[in-house]
Amino acid sequence: MTLLRSTAGTVVLLTCAGLARAEPELSSTITATSDYDFRGITQTAQDPAIQGSLDLALDSGAYLGIWASNVDFGDDTASDVEIDLLGGYSGSINDDLGYDVGAVLYVYEDSDDDIDYMEVYGGLDYKILSTKLWISPDYLNSGDSAFYLEGNLEGGSLPFELGWIVHLGYSGGEFFSDSADNGLDEYYDWAVGLTRTFGRFDFELKWADGSDLDEADGTGSPPDANSSEGRLILSVSTTFPWSDE
């Protein structure tokens, strides 16, 4: 745990140092979605979400960002807003192979349960395939560690200028395997979808499913809070500043 926290601190400090040496590029992305899906589990009780980010990036690959969304975890958690603070490096090893490493702090405003936590991550991209491993030493401030391993495929060339996405993820570690403490178990989530760009707006329609987590399949209070059941999700996003092209 100490090593992970030290690694996260080092990533953020190096990123800040990199940003300080050159003028960063500023961008912002706004997203409206019918459901905030996080690793197969709804974060908004299957209700819509408005999400926004503010990002600073350098040509060197260093970046810092802040991201926010409304959330709804049901009657037992008071938080209505999630704020993520992140920093990292991304770059290319060759024309086909890229990498991304960093750290993110998840902050839940007005939460009575104090569920803020941190993750470090590292990933590789090869052509249309991307993989990433996320590790938290203290997942949801529970005292238990957790990890998330994901793979994603993304491509285009479908009729009507459609693109496609395929996702598979696995959540594991002490937090999920220690069923005596939290009633959960390690699980898979997956998603498939289509994408399409209209002018400055990017649309995505996907089926997301985390129902391998049986304990959360259609449960919660209200009934859809924290549910892992499969559902269809529509999202639209745009990134500023808009290009003149």
- The answer to whether 130 touches 154, Cβ cutoff 8 Å, is yes
Domain ranges across the chain: 2-240
The confidence score (pLDDT) of residue 5 equals 47
Is pLDDT at 235 greater than 90 in this prediction?
yes
Q: How many other CB atoms are found less than 10 A from the CB of residue 153?
A: 14
Mean pLDDT of 193-220: 92
Query: 72-109 pLDDT, tens per residue?
Result: 998 878 899 999 999 999 999 999 999 999 999 999 98
Q: Lowest mean pLDDT: which of 17-31, 98-112, 141-155?
A: 17-31
Q: pTM of this prediction?
A: 0.88
Query: 41-76 pLDDT, tens per residue?
Result: 999 999 999 999 999 999 999 999 999 999 999 887
Residue 7: is it exposed, middle or buried by C-beta count within 10 angstroms (0-12/13-18/19+)? middle
Mean pLDDT of 201-220: 90
The CATH architecture that domain 2-240 belongs to is Beta Barrel (2.40)
